[in-house]
Amino acid sequence: MQHLIEHSVEEAIRAAQFLRLPDSIAFIERSAEVIAQCLKQGGKILIAGNGGSLCDAMHFAEELTGQFRAKRPALAAIALSDPGHLSCVANDMGFDLVFARGVEALGRPGDLFIALTTSGNSPNLLAALLQAKQQGLATLAFLGKTGGKMKGVADLEWIVSGFAYSDRIQEAHMAAIHIAIERVEQHLFAYAAR
């Protein structure tokens, strides 16, 4: 039994070490710059994902609207997670449109849409990315495995590859999100850059 736990611990460490790769570091810095630039120019961040990635999207948004490392003004971000909206659109139009309709309703040119997916194959996130691009939003994608059908669609993407299961990919995504938010605060607020 202990060897199974040790194996899982090693996989978790490997997921964390994925963050040290040059491409990962470059993505984290670039994503922080894009988020900070959007917010500086009066835009807002729209974030979506399915299942655990939707929980991560909500976490991402609250770190911006609340606070992360230091007291500072609230930052405009929303996870596309309203159950009324999701169930209405899923029931009336199909689940593939739940996030695209959210982007259509709330997205404006100058905003940023962020998709979180461990497979890159979620039709509802692909539809939202395409809707965001059509409406003039910048797009960013946290992907996993091979990047799936969403590979190459977003303006900026990061693919956490080499993991068979979503949990390790989500762990890497969440760590990268936290680091990016730390950098956003440093970009926007001088007192955070200590």
Helices (H), 41-145: 52-65, 83-92, 98-106, 123-134
The CATH classification of domain 2-192, taken from the options 3.30.1130.10, 3.40.50.11540, 3.40.50.150, 3.40.50.10490: 3.40.50.10490
The total of other beta-carbon atoms located within 10 Å of residue 120's CB is 24
> How do residues 138-167 score in pLDDT, each as one tens digit?
999 999 999 999 999 999 999 999 999 999
Rounded Cα distance between 65 and 46, Å, is: 12
* pLDDT tier, 69 (very low <50, low <70, confident <90, very high otherwise): confident
Examine the pLDDT at 168 and tell me if it is beyond 60.
yes
- Taking the domains of the chain in order of start, what are their residue ranges? 2-192
Q: What is the mean pLDDT of the chain?
A: 96
Enter the tokens of residue 45. Answer: 């961040």
Examine the pLDDT at 193 and tell me if it is beyond 80.
no
Average the pLDDT over 26-48 and give the result. 98
